[in-house]
Amino acid sequence: MSYAVIRLPRPIISALNNNQGFGQIKGTTKKVGANYSPVPVCVFRRDNRQLLWETKSKTDGSYAFRNIAVGLECFVVAFDPNEEYNAVISDKVVAK
């Protein structure tokens, strides 16, 4: 038997559990009004506080979480890597 390797331009997203799907959460990290990076950012389920994904913001301060169930209510936490400021939390964020 033979096989073929198919290379796709974008990875395929598949849902393995109730937390995953085709939704996204996007945002930017700012410090005193200016974009700030790299900042560790985490997204949690709101109902059971389960960590879903972790990332670091890009050089322009933007971040994005993909592969989250559409309509899932979450909260996002960003941490100051220099420990000058407390963590910032965005609550009741819904994946779209």
Q: Give residue 45's pLDDT.
A: 95
Residue range 12-31: average pLDDT? 82
Inter-CA distances, 74 with 33, 49, 80, 92, Å: 24, 8, 20, 6
Q: Which domains does the chain have, with CATH numbers?
A: 23-94 (2.60.40)
Q: Which two tokens stand for residue 77?
A: 């936490």
Task: Give the tens place of pLDDT for each residue, 23-81.
Answer: 999 999 988 888 787 999 999 999 999 999 999 999 999 999 998 999 999 999 999 98
- For residue 1, pLDDT over 60 is answered with no
